[in-house]
Structure 1
Amino acid sequence: MKKVAFIISLVFISIIGHSQSCLPNGITFTTQEQIDNFPTDYPNCNQIEGPITIGNYPDGTTITNLDGLNNITQIDGGLNIYFNLNLSSLSGLSNLTHIGGNVSIFYNPELFSLEGLNNLNVVEGDLKLGEYELTVGNDNFQDLSGLNGLTQVEGNLILFKNQNVSTLTGLENLISIGQNLEIHNHQNLVNLNGLQNLSSISGTIIINSNNILNDISGIKNINVDSINNLTIFDNQQLSNCHVKSICDYIAIPDASFDILNNNTGCDNSEQVEENCETIGIIEHNNLISIQPNPAKDFVQFHFEQENEIIIRIYNTKGEFIEELEGNTELIWNCKSFSSGLYFYTANSKHQSYSGKVIIQ
């Protein structure tokens, strides 16, 4: 019995010895020697409690690789990678799965991709590719491949001045952003493909100064209820802003949005609203009937061609008050609501609708 207990204790000690957290104040790397010596200086250290900084602003470093960091699986603080003049790969971070703070990556002129971060699933803070305040981006990224495992950014996703990125390929598994989605100042970004599975942002969408951007349909699946504000401006080639998420959002009474100085069709809010009404959002026509309207106790919505639909009801202040979910027939019990004007949006897999309901 004592022998068994002794063996169990040895196994437990072995597990503890090979897996531990460390460096509560974080660590900064400015030389290749520091990177190379990390496994020896901090044996079995795979969960960093504080932030990691790899770089030296403004002088730069001569770090070429991060292979000495390949035992790190989690960073509870943030991760900063900047001003590494010779860094060509992030493969040393291939076992990293979770970052508990902000991530900032910019001005690594020999870095052509984010390959090496493929196992990263969650960023609890901001993910910033490019630095707005320093007006410095990532000139050589072709796309965002390497972030294919990322499902959640709990802070802001900020993309700034990634000059050779033409598409957002690499973000296909991103589902939610906890705050804002910001896409600024890209010279070669043509579309937002890669964001098709993004369904929630809980903040503001900002798209500005992307010179040849002409397709934003990649954000069409963002849930309208998660958008707090919308700003689209100075995208010279962008003429089609009437994608589903935007049409749904601007149909909400008192929604806050600014759309200006893009190409014809998206040059101002009125053009977008008109295009949404014509193409994307259908108000009372032969595809939908509402009885009675005005109503007193209940409203019945009938859809000719739909079988799975969600209706959201708003008051005149734009405040969400109720959601209905069902098939071609949905009934809103409205007898407990004050008399007056109400607005609805109805969304299915194929179509969006909007309209007005009056309660007597």
Structure 2
Amino acid sequence: FPFPFPSSWTGDTSATPYNVIYLNEGNAQFTNILDHPLTLEDSHTAQLFDQDNDGDLDVLLTRYSWSFGGYNNLFVNEGNNNSWIVLTCEGTISNRSAIGARVQAKAFVNGAHTTQTREITPINGHLTWANFRVHFGLGDAEVIDTLIIRWPSGIVDTYFDVKSNRFYKAIENLNLAFLCPSGGISFTTQEQIDNFPIDNPDCVEIAGNVVISGSNITNLDGLLQIEVFGGNLEIYGNDVLPNLSGLNSVSSIGGDFKVLNNPVLVDFSGLGLLNSTGGSFQITNNAELDNMNSLSGLSPLASIAGNLWISQNPNLSSLSGLDGIDAGSIDSLFIHENESLTTCHVASICNFLDLGGYADIYDNASGCNSQIEVDAACPVKINEIITGTHFEIYPNPASGVAHLRYSISDIRYSIFELYSIWGIKVKTLLHEEQQPGEYELSIDVSDLPDGIYFIRMQSGDTQATGKLVVIH
């Protein structure tokens, strides 16, 4: 593959203001590649390493502070279909970083028997650091026939038939262990799902992003051992996947969790241990999510650290199952175009609306067709209930006249005030001394705009607040 490096001196003290790249032809010959983006600017060292853990080498070019403002350049390799392995070596008798170890890979690559050699060193070049991981590009090879590690201690470890496209860890004089994939994983067939525990017997945590999308994926049982997805998890376009059984051990998702365009997904059973996501949670266009229990598999979910997005699920009737999400963990709320959705007033949603968070709710069924309707269905909260005080608002929602019924147990000076959702006082409803007894106060709301209002009562030393929804 191309190996870029900066050229050396042009004078006594100045470095060459351009890069050069030489292509290794594999026959002890190199070709100078002149027209390449990596040669357009100057730098001092090129570091090749797999910065995004996708199996190919990326390039970091470093500079002095006076060169191009001191900025470094990272060139990300978009990859191809070539095979590879990445190996981390750990010394036991030798130094732990395996500095000085020499690794050889023998494989049949692109029609030829090939031997590649790498040495782990503490230096790489000027203004950079050493990359202790060993990378081999393998072309079309599916296995390395022989992998030999010569440790500084003199120990030689040899491994045969090492599968390509894997991350490995070699421990001196012990074993070669397959590491969990670090990310960029796409499951597109049932066979890939089924083979995962065979190829990855000890893998319980996948550090990076995972996509599950395939026309023949019927179950996720091959992922039963996974406990943590460290990045995003996207499950979309699975034509015959009825539930999420197989994710039973997953306790957390480090990034976004998206479940989109799965036409026969009936429910979320299989997520009985999922406690948190580190990003947004989106459920969109899953036509068969259809009953009160469809989301019940999500009941342990307590935190999402992002947006909650429920949209275009035509048969979904209830958000029960999302009750346990901490409202403070929701950034914004989007509930729209769920034409059968009538029950949105679960605890997490009601608490989020009470906190005044941003919500976009529309084109759902009656009862969940707007923020006002959801607020109206949420329980009317009384922040403080004092013995001897009873406070009830009806009808709620109201359109013409609302009634406020209450009782007091002794002589008190009572004040009732109406406030907008923004905390602005709209009017004083009552301000007088009252005898013990039961009372009913009529409130004309016919001239009030649709919206959410709060009635604040102060009776003697006690206070209470109730919510009133006005819909004309």
TM-score by length of 1: 0.59
- 1:262 is the counterpart of 2:364: yes
- 1:103 is the counterpart of 2:224: no
Distance 1:27 1:155 in 2: 32
* Candidates 187, 204, 208, aligned match of 2:307: 204
Displacement of 1:88 = 7.0
- Higher share in helix: 1
* Candidates 244, 260, 283, aligned match of 2:382: 283
Cα displacement string for residues 128-159 of structure 1 (whole angstroms, at most 9, x for unaligned residues):
011xxxxxx00111110111111111110000
SS in 1 for 2:373: helix
Q: Please show how residues 190-339 of structure 1 align to structure 2 within 5 Å.
A: 190=290, 191-253=294-356, 255-276=357-378, 280-284=379-383, 286=385
TM-score by length of 2: 0.46
Distance 2:381 2:322 in 1: 20
Aligned-residue identity in percent: 27
Q: Answer yes or no: is the 8 Å Cα contact 2:193–2:222 preserved in 1.
A: no
Q: Answer yes or no: is the 8 Å Cα contact 2:190–2:219 preserved in 1.
A: no
Q: Answer yes or no: is the 8 Å Cα contact 1:124–1:153 preserved in 2.
A: yes
Displacement of 1:74 = 1.4
Q: Answer yes or no: is the 8 Å Cα contact 1:106–1:138 preserved in 2.
A: yes
Q: Answer yes or no: is the 8 Å Cα contact 1:79–1:99 preserved in 2.
A: no
Distance 1:153 1:26 in 2: 31
Cα displacement string for residues 152-209 of structure 1 (whole angstroms, at most 9, x for unaligned residues):
1111000011111111011111111011000010110122121111101111000000
Residues 87 and 265 of structure 1: is their aligned pair in 2 closer, same or farther, counting only changes over 3 Å?
Answer: same
Displacement of 1:235 = 0.7
Higher RCO (Cα < 8 Å, 6 or more apart)? 1
How much is the aligned-residue C-alpha RMSD, in angstroms?
A: 4.0
- 1:189 is the counterpart of 2:289: yes
Q: Answer yes or no: is the 8 Å Cα contact 2:224–2:246 preserved in 1.
A: yes
Distance 1:259 1:183 in 2: 15
Cα displacement string for residues 63-104 of structure 1 (whole angstroms, at most 9, x for unaligned residues):
xxxxxxxx745122331123x486573543453211111001
Displacement of 1:354 = 7.6
SS in 2 for 1:80: strand
Q: Answer yes or no: is the 8 Å Cα contact 1:144–1:170 preserved in 2.
A: yes
Q: Answer yes or no: is the 8 Å Cα contact 2:193–2:220 preserved in 1.
A: no
- Higher share in strand: 2
Q: Please show how residues 1-360 of structure 1 align to structure 2 within 5 Å.
A: 34=142, 40-42=161-163, 47=168, 72-82=178-188, 84=189, 89=194, 90-92=196-198, 93=200, 95-107=202-214, 109-130=215-236, 137-190=237-290, 191-253=294-356, 255-276=357-378, 280-284=379-383, 286=385
AA aligned to 1:154 is G
Displacement of 1:23 = 7.5
AA aligned to 2:183 is G
Q: Answer yes or no: is the 8 Å Cα contact 1:149–1:173 preserved in 2.
A: yes
Residues 40 and 210 of structure 1: is their aligned pair in 2 closer, same or farther, counting only changes over 3 Å?
Answer: same
Q: Answer yes or no: is the 8 Å Cα contact 2:221–2:246 preserved in 1.
A: yes
Unpaired runs of at least 5, structure 2: 1-91, 97-131, 147-159, 170-176, 390-420, 424-453, 455-463, 468-472
SS in 2 for 1:231: strand
Q: Answer yes or no: is the 8 Å Cα contact 2:310–2:334 preserved in 1.
A: yes
Distance 1:140 1:36 in 2: 37
Distance 1:36 1:189 in 2: 46
AA aligned to 2:209 is N
Distance 2:305 2:137 in 1: 30
Residues 185 and 268 of structure 1: is their aligned pair in 2 closer, same or farther, counting only changes over 3 Å?
Answer: same
Q: Answer yes or no: is the 8 Å Cα contact 2:224–2:249 preserved in 1.
A: yes
Q: Answer yes or no: is the 8 Å Cα contact 1:206–1:232 preserved in 2.
A: yes
Distance 1:269 1:27 in 2: 57
SS in 1 for 2:249: coil
Unpaired runs of at least 5, structure 1: 1-7, 13-20, 49-70, 131-136, 291-314, 318-342, 344-352
Distance 2:247 2:145 in 1: 27
Distance 2:375 2:345 in 1: 8
AA aligned to 1:105 is I
Residues 316 and 124 of structure 1: is their aligned pair in 2 closer, same or farther, counting only changes over 3 Å?
Answer: farther
Q: Answer yes or no: is the 8 Å Cα contact 2:310–2:335 preserved in 1.
A: yes
Distance 2:136 2:328 in 1: 39
